[in-house]
Chains A and B, each alone.
Chain A
Amino acid sequence: MVKITIRGNMATALGAKLSRPDVVPAYPITPSTLFPEKISEYIADGEMDAEMIRVESEHSAMSACIGASACGARVCTASASQGISLMSEMMFIAAGMRLPVVMAVGNRALAAPINIWCDHQDTISQRDTGWLQFYAEKNQEGLDLMIIAFKVCEDKRVLLPGMVGIDAFVLTHTLEAVDVPDQKLVDEFLPKYKPELYLDPSKPMTFGSFGTPEFYQEFKYAQVKAIEKASEVIDEVFAEFKKKFGREYKKIVPYKCEDADVIILTMGSMSGTARAAVNKMREKGKKVGCCKLTVYRPFPGKEIVDLTKNAKVIAVLDRDISPGFGGALYGEVAAQFINTSEHPLITDYIIGLGGRDVLIEDFEEIYDKSIETVKKGRVEKPVEWIHLNQEVL
């Protein structure tokens, strides 16, 4: 194993390279552009035996991914933000056709106003496409999760596309030391993709049929069963990864939650800040813990309930917003408790949209608000925005 210092995009590109994809259709977009650049370089230097398709749009990137994957090729791409919105139509189709395409994402805000910085709205908005969603906290996770994503997605019990999100700039453009897994070990962990069904002239079949009302629901049901199954497969693959490479992954990663009155839920790079804030608050005797979600789809609802059911407040941090409702993660966490008679109070904090920094003080503020909620015994304002600049409102 070699240790090198690289940017997040280079880490996901390296994870892709180690996974030996056959075809990489991609279109440049900030902050993910370094991914196709690195793949192009690897190919140009003979370090990677893959075909790159320099498509004319993200829609065509995902379309070409679908075509190539349906031929039985291992396929990956990278995108972000507007690019993901543009390819959304084809993301549903990749999942519906059960094609294990893997995408590296630099999580970025959506226009308008146009903004290139960190935000989870781009991928959260695609949560219903049927893709598996992984979120990395650091570059090492970005690299590892790419390899893991291929293995989970290509599993015969799953056969679904998946994405690995790394936060715009905070990770995509930031140098961090990563352990580079040995290629031989990756090859053992992730053998060649050999689908049973593919576009084969010796065994012709039709992909992407017209599904009438008699059959459409059954297609969708089978797809949902597969992503539910993925939950189990992810655990297996995480365990196998640990055995092979020594690094441990879990769908949710709790920190000092055992006796916590307040548990703060996070996704992505802010999770490290959350732990630092928890340490600081613990020193002052505050009973607070935090937990990050590495897997968002399939949703680790059971794991979250098991972890948080004895807490007094769950403070959900959303780097996304469903206007007219609140944060997506908040709604989904709350839904897990709907049929239980007793459960923690659940509050939502909209934070860090469009690349606004998430600070240790923000976590302290959220903790204080949570304790106020505990004292009152009820939630007065379920959705709150952190760091609103009143001067420009």
Chain B
Amino acid sequence: MKEEKELFSVGHRACAGCGEPIAVRAILNEAGPNTVAIVCTGCLEVVSTGWPETAWEVPLIHAAFENSASVASGIEVALRKLGKKDTNVIAFGGDGGTFDIGFQALSGMLERGHNVKYVCLDNEAYMNTGIQRCSSTPYGASTTTSPAGKYSIGEDRPKKPLAAICASHDIPYTATATIAYPEDLKKKVKTALETKGPCFLHVLVPCPTGWRFSSEKTVELAKLAVGTGVFVLWELRGSNFNNINITKKLKGRKPVTEYLKTQGRFRHLFRPEIKQDVIDKIQKDIDEKCKRFGVDL
């Protein structure tokens, strides 16, 4: 641990097994105290900022749902103007606040070239409002607004490739990470902080409540997401995808069923009968993606 003092303190109200505080703690401790953090409306804000308490040991601002990136733009410019350009500016957004409602603000911030490190904590649905479908929700997942049923397989659209879209803005650094590989996450945070200009980190944070798994399995789930090729760990400088660096290549990639079977949100793919066509499509998409990215050793 770089910092002796924890910058995201204990006592917050996150669910047992929530992936978000694990990621935030690692990121803030890597960044150190000379940081201003921005958080968008969502689980993270609700569980960590209930007045008169706060879990944040760095200055934090929460404004609204869709604008972490534009609030951060203002902060970055003001700090520079006031002669505090060495302060890190880290904006946190959930997947709803980043993939969906905050997408325009994010694109604007990236395009304008602000020295902001944007972290999307992705738990693949609107968890704070009770597990509604988002453009981050994976194909086949059952949510409260894409429920599995007699005529529904659950979510019927693939996950939006947000990190790739961000990288296509030709920003200096884009990376994906997850809490199961904290050293990889921290290394990427360090790289982002050392890189001038806008950087985007897409961090997968399993959600026991929304994904419906037992709360002690959070890290295991994150590990399985990587091990099955569902979530590929990569980093890229600029927008030329030929230069992509796969930071966790896979030897003997696991079948996706190992990941799907552990979560209630995919239970309908196995019960009452196996929906093989859906599972096959999920597996096929992963195989294609892993081939394209060069994930398999």
Contacts and interface: CB of A to CB of B under 8 A. Distances in A.
Listed residue (A25, A54, A75, A204) with the most chain B CB atoms within 10 angstroms of its CB: A204
B54 interface: yes
Contacts of B50: 209-210, 212
Contacts of A53: 73-74, 77, 112
A199 interface: yes
B104 A68 contact: no
A64 B74 contact: yes
A207 B105 contact: no
Interface residues of A, number: 42
Contacts of A212: 50-51
Contact of B60 (A60, A90, A207): A207
Listed residue (A66, A89, A200) with the most chain B CB atoms within 10 angstroms of its CB: A66
Given A72-B78, A208-B49, A210-B51, A63 B70 contact: yes
Given A55-B108, A212-B51, A215-B51, A63 B81 contact: no
A90 B64 contact: yes
Contact of B78 (A54, A68, A97, A209): A68
B78 A71 contact: yes
A191 interface: no
Interface in B64-111: 64, 66-67, 69-82, 84, 87, 104-105, 107-108, 111
Interface string A209-222: 11110010000000
A236 to B, nearest CB: 28
A207 to B, nearest CB: 4
Contact of B73 (A67, A97, A204): A67
Interface string A256-283: 0000000000000000000000000000
Given A68-B78, A73-B81, A90-B67, A60 B73 contact: yes
B38 interface: yes
A389 B290 CA distance: 68
A199 B35 CA distance: 10
Given A60-B67, A73-B81, A204 B56 contact: yes
Contacts of B74: 23, 25, 53, 63-69, 71, 75
Interface string A36-70: 00000000000000110111110110011111111
Given A55-B70, A57-B108, A64-B74, A23 B56 contact: no
B75 A199 contact: yes
Interface string A67-106: 1111111010000000000000110010001000000000
Contacts of B84: 71
B272 interface: no
Given A25-B77, A211-B51, 6 more contacts: A70-B75, A73-B78, A201-B36, A204-B59, A207-B59, A215-B51
Interface of B: 33-36, 38, 45-46, 49-52, 54, 56-64, 66-67, 69-82, 84, 87, 104-105, 107-108, 111-112
Q: 7 closest pairs, A vs B, by CB?
A: A67-B74, A64-B74, A56-B108, A60-B70, A68-B78, A63-B70, A68-B74
